[in-house]
Amino acid sequence: MGLLERLRKEWFILGIVLVIAVARLEPAVGVKGGPLKPEITITYVAVSAIFFNSGLSLKTEELTSALMHVKLHLFVQIFTLVFFPTAIWLFLQLLSITPINEWLLKGLQTVGCMPPPVSSAVILTKAVGGNEAAAIFNSAFGSFLGIVITPLLLLLFLGSSSSVPFTSIFSQLFMTVVVPLVIGQIVRRYIKDWLERKKPPFGTISSCVLLMIIYTTFCDTFANPNIDLDKFSLVIIVFIIFSVQMSFMFLTFLFSTRNNSGFTPADTVAIIFCSTHKSLTLGIPMLKIVFAGYEHLSLISIPLLIYHPAQILLGSLLVPTIKSWMVSRQKAQKLTRQPKAPVKV
């Protein structure tokens, strides 16, 4: 099955689970204590499985070389954790005079404050053939920065009287992100030949785990009987989210492809996805911690729940286009680097 066909199949499955969740046919599946036990399987097992999978599939030398690409890491983290939330805040000053639900607008601001994702950017970067090692490093590094920076940004832009247990978040993130990645790299050293010979479907495994995360999170949100959401605001928010993603993807593409940027085409692919994607698996727990006891927490969470599937959808649709651009640019660079044949006199 080709890459595009596999992505379409994944989105068909995702569409089904989201319809089930929104229709609230089985809300108990995504709620704490339900059959899938998401408080354990999602919080610990799912994220750990994604990073163990990445550690198992990524060549150690590629990850090591990615650590030295400081300029790329600075670009991604500054865009994600500084430019993104600031731009959203300025945009929301204009939207505040509209009749859009104010709690959904606050939810848009929380999206801007979120760290890079722990999965989707890596999966899509790998699907295109970009710098996967850089994507993994920025996902892990951005997640750790997000432990401190994201709660502070949420408190700055939205305010909360809740105390934020940084120690517990940091320890949980270390156990579910860093440890599985390191174990995956260790295991890879012993079964490297078998992995290169069999080529297991690492991308499909990560995608299936990601679908499970989205499904249980949607169920958890829409199972709330007190949720009050008008259709007009929801439609407008969906439109804004897609517009913001497309605009920011275009901006990162322009910045990273300038002549003096120093980024390769493969780097640009990682930058596009890592800079514009936001973490759902870290975002939802952070919102529940920072805004514990908020009556409108479910409404604040909705933009992030929409943003995450939307970023995968847009990324999946753009995979063939971005891959074609990357391949053509790499070929052009190789041609310009080839020494010219001496002219015979």
Q: How confident is the model at residue 43 (pLDDT cuts 50, 70, 90)?
A: low
Q: What is the pLDDT of residue 60?
A: 66
Q: Are 268 and 256 in contact (CB under 8 A)?
A: yes
Tokens 């401190």 locate to 148
Average pLDDT, the chain: 76
3-state SS record for 112-133: HHCCCCCCHHHHHHHHHCCCHH
CA pair distance 89, 94, nearest whole angstrom? 9
**Per-residue model confidence (pLDDT) at position 2:** 46
Q: What token pair was written down for 250?
A: 């275009």
**Which pLDDT does position 165 carry in this prediction?**
59
pTM above the 0.75 mark? no
CA distances from 320 to 7, 125, 132, 330 (A): 11, 12, 17, 15
**Domain spans of the chain, in order of start:** 9-325
- Residue 119, Cα to own-chain centre: how many angstroms? 6
The Cα 128–Cα 252 span in angstroms is: 16
For the cut 50, the answer to whether the pLDDT of residue 229 exceeds it is yes
Fold of 9-325: Na+/H+ antiporter like fold (1.20.1530)
How would you class 127 by CB atoms within 10 Å of its CB: exposed for 0-12, middle for 13-18, buried for 19 or more?
buried
pLDDT digits (tens, 9 = 90+) for 152-177: 888 788 765 445 556 666 676 677 76
